[in-house]
Chain A
Amino acid sequence: KNQVEQSPQSLIILEGKNCTLQCNYTVSPFSNLRWYKQDTGRGPVSLTIMTFSENTKSNGRYTATLDADTKQSSLHITASQLSDSASYICVVFDRGSTLGRLYFGRGTQLTVWP
């Protein structure tokens, strides 16, 4: 069964601190993995997309890593800001599907306190 599991479910950190969010997946065949940021009451916005040949990708203060062998990914946020408070969703794309099927994790709810 294709699944995407994220941890922790929620996380509270102080402004300026770093944090790392985890994602494990069982989706096969694997095409790419995406991290989305979803603000409360809004739609998800893409942060990074990585294929199986990419180990790391950065987008500003966000750095995603991927280990396709162990089927694990992480999202590292550096020098957190209040605006980073959101749900971070790990999404895996199944290339075996002509639709372009995405499998979503439940997200990690990050709260940044001043």
Chain B
Amino acid sequence: EADIYQTPRYLVIGTGKKITLECSQTMGHDKMYWYQQDPGMELHLIHYSYGVNSTEKGDLSSESTVSRIRTEHFPLTLESARPSHTSQYLCASSSPGLAGGLQYNEQFFGPGTRLTVL
């Protein structure tokens, strides 16, 4: 069982509100990720981090921002939420590993935050 936590699990807010989705992991992983997932669709990478003070945008354009001040903490912020931001947000962290002589990154996912913006 991976030790990665997300809060809140569910959030319903009005348009224009500022929100922060929390993600914490206790595994000491350097790499962390934020994904967005709509029902029946694949996960899309929106942000990632190689380590403290490192953040990059992912494949899917997002109006959200992230920060990485501590290894274990990777919060995502929406300055002004809109209905188009309604989605599930999944946080993940990864550890290096070897399989068949090749390196891979085993990603562990949090339980997700289901965001609804009215």
Indicate which residue in A9, A51, A89 contacts B99 across the interface (CB closer than 8 Å).
Answer: A51
List A contacts of B105 (CB < 8 A).
93, 100
**Chain B contact patch, size range:** 20 to 34
Known: A100-B94, A106-B42, A109-B40. A46 touches B106 (CB 8 A): yes
Q: Is A41 an interface residue (CB 8 A)?
A: yes
List A contacts of B4 (CB < 8 A).
43
Known: A32-B104, A51-B99. A43 touches B111 (CB 8 A): yes
Q: Is A95 an interface residue (CB 8 A)?
A: yes
List A contacts of B110 (CB < 8 A).
43
Q: How far is the CB of B40 from chain A (nearest CB, A)?
A: 7
Q: Is B74 an interface residue (CB 8 A)?
A: no
Say whether A107 contacts B99, CB under 8 Å. Answer: no
Say whether B109 contacts A44, CB under 8 Å. Answer: yes
**Chain A contact patch, size range:** 20 to 34
Question: Residues on B close to A: CB < 8 A?
Answer: 4, 6, 31, 40-43, 45, 48, 50, 88, 90-92, 94, 99-112, 114
Question: Residues on A close to B: CB < 8 A?
Answer: 4, 9, 31-32, 41-46, 49-54, 89, 93, 95, 99-102, 104-107, 109
Q: Which 6 A-B pairs have the closest CB atoms?
A: A43-B109, A51-B100, A100-B105, A104-B42, A104-B43, A53-B100
A-B contact sample (13 more), CB < 8 A, given A32-B99, A44-B43 = A31-B102, A32-B104, A41-B114, A43-B90, A49-B104, A50-B99, A93-B104, A95-B103, A99-B31, A100-B105, A105-B42, A106-B40, A106-B41
